[in-house]
Amino acid sequence: MPMKVYIDGQLRDESDATISVFDHGLLYGDGVFEGIRMYHNRIFKLREHIERLYWSAKAILLEIPMTQQQMMDACLETCRANGLREGYIRLIVTRGKGTLGLDPRRCPKPSVIIIAATIQLYPESVYRDGMTIATVPTTRMLVNSVNPAIKSLNYLNNILARIEANLIGVEEAIMLNTEGYVAECTGDNIFIVQKGKLYTPPLSAGALYGITRNTVIDCARAMGLEVAEPNLTRYDIYTADEMFLTGTAAEMVPVVKVDGRLIGDGKPGPVTGRLLEAFRGVTRHDGEVIFRD
């Protein structure tokens, strides 16, 4: 059965799922998006993702031509059309078709695109044995330039950092902000564990308002762990007992080496393991049901 893609109120076969070459999402990266996971017949944290999508759109004065409830219904409809109970949703809102100029006022109608498919970001060995990552020269965007809180279609900042990670030969890259503090990785938030306490960079450092990040923080506090969000340096990472990354697609990934330095004893740590178990427990019952059995 061909994949069905939702475009502006219609479900189209993958081969017919096209947009205009004059869409400003293509021409200029003018638009916003969300990545959302499906677990156990549920779309995980759908309401939170939709809310963040609308926040991003509001920040760039992009008026989405649907209510939040209609957007959630469209996501569920697309999953059902593809028979999916597990997988990944890419939800995109572009500025729409316009002229070759930059002016968004020349784009009268935004476009909404929903893709629902399966996903495997990393092999199981990475979750079992941990990941090796490195700091790269490309810094995170300034908050008064393109605020990292906006999940926009223009991801070139992250892509440049990922290219540098590829050239180094590691699986992810740590991005610092212009002050030298840790912001995030190219697609994931960063956590460290030190003496049983959990630390993650503050949003003001350039970290994305991560849905998985927030879920892990909630899990940690429910387990009685203390959580803090101070500015972190590479020194804090190098001397950490444990480290892991969080993201919608990646979930929770342990990190065992950074910039050639072992984190802790070079193996995924016990706090990381407990948090991963708690996080996976949440995914079993949290979210909007796709199919009514």
Active site (catalytic) residues = 151
CA–CA gap between residue 279 and residue 293 (Å, rounded): 24
- Please name the residue ranges forming H helices in 60-137: 68-81, 124-129
Q: Residue 282 — left, alpha, or beta (φ > 0 → left; ψ -120 to 50 → alpha)?
A: alpha
Per the listing, tokens 């959302």 go with: 36
Q: Collapsing DSSP states into helix, strand and coil, what is residue 237?
A: helix
* Phi, psi of 64, deg, nearest 5: -75, 130
- Candidates 162, 152, 186, 157; CA nearest to 29 is 152
Per the listing, tokens 């950092």 go with: 161
Is 287:87 a contact under the CB 8 Å cutoff? no
